[in-house]
Every structure is written in C-alpha cells, then in structure tokens.
Amino acid sequence: MGPARVIPPARLYFLRHGETDWNAEGRLQGQQDIPLNSRGREQAARAGRTLRKLVAKARPDGAPPDFIASPLGRTRETMEIARSAMDLDPAAYAIDPRLKELSFGTWEGLTWPDVQGLSPTLASGREADKWSFVPPAGESYAMLAERITPWLHELTRDTVVVSHGGVARVLMAIIGGLPIERAPMVEIWQDRPVIFANGRFDWV
C-alpha cells in the first residue's frame, strides 16, 4: 500500500542538488555530506536562472515564495548558487532536517556493484521491493514518506525546495500519486526543476 496522498494548497518548486563526485562515480550517497563538483555548481546556477523565470511568471505581483533546503552541504550550496542566479540574498533561506536524503546506512559510499558483491541476498531484496526495503542501518522510501508527510501538511505558501533524489521520488508518490512500484525508479535530473501543483508534477 502506498502513502496517503497529500495535495498542498501551494505550488512547490523542487530542485535536486547539483552533481557531486559521488554521483558521478555511482556511489550511494545517502546522508553523507559530499560537496558539489564543478559540474554541480554549473547545474545549480542554470536551475536558478530557470527558477527565476518560473517564479516571475507565476507571481506577477513580485511576492517571493518561501525557500527551504535540506541541511546537507550539497543542498545548501545548490540553494545559495540558485538564489544568487535569481538575484536574491544567497543566505536568506530556511533549512529543515526532514528534507534530508534517505539513509543507505552501512551501504553509503558503496557503488551498487559493490553492494551486489558484498550482500547479494540483500541487494536482490531491494531490487524486488525498492519502496519498502530497509538497507542495513538505513531507511526505506516508505520510512522517508513518513518523515516528509508532516512537513507537506505545513506548506501554505508557494515554496522553492532544494533537496535530494529520494525526496523527489517520494513527493511524486505522495503528491502526484505515482505508484510505489514506479516511484523509486524515476530518474531525477540535477539541473531541471520539478513543479508540484494541483496533485501532479511536471518537469520544466
């Protein structure tokens, strides 16, 4: 069974953090605090320029949305670069620990082939049910959904969020109703915002 649907009354502009070296190497990053690489910083600036146009179009009165980021360094750096590209004070945003990436526990830092070699039975279990599987000392997507849902209920204003791929997939299930069998498989781009509004999601 999937998570209960939550459709916030406001528009959510979601941006995944820019690329890190661990992303480029295919390592399970989870909650490890890995910084952006040069490509990631370029992606953040490009996404910020896109967001500037989107927000201006949606808010002709000029009223800015709220800005919230995961507390990890790669999301905060992405937020600050994006806000600079929007001609906003880089530091004027909030953080919320509920927006952290899901934890891969003892698998963090490994590539998926590493996991398959070290723990083939567990790797097969995750591939069979990515939504509910809990890595050793880690979290499942289902657990991440429980963490994020109270935050979603608090949203009342249009909000720009910088977070992680796992968080985006869970939002696609909770807000957009994407089946839990599909949500963990969705590729989340690092330089294209996703807009969540009216019970659906759209890539920009």
Which is the catalytic residue, given 17, 77, 108, 164? 17
**Tokens for 151?**
């935050």
Q: Is 153 one of the annotated active-site residues of the chain?
A: no
Q: Which two tokens stand for residue 2?
A: 């999937």
Residue given tokens 């791929």 in the structure block: 165
Cα–Cα distance for residue pair 36/19, rounded to 1 Å: 6
In three-state secondary structure terms, 95 is strand
Classify 109 as helix, strand or coil. Answer: coil
- Nearest by Cα to 17 from 29, 26, 8: 29
Q: Is 25 a catalytic residue?
A: no
Q: Which three-class secondary structure state does DSSP give residue 201?
A: strand
Cβ-based neighbours of 152, under 8 Å, separated by 6 or more: 6, 8, 171, 174, 175
Kindly name the residue from 19, 80, 101, 108 that is annotated as catalytic: 101
- Rounded CA separation 175/160 (Å): 15
Lookup: tokens for 173:
């299930």
**Which of the residues are catalytic?**
17, 101
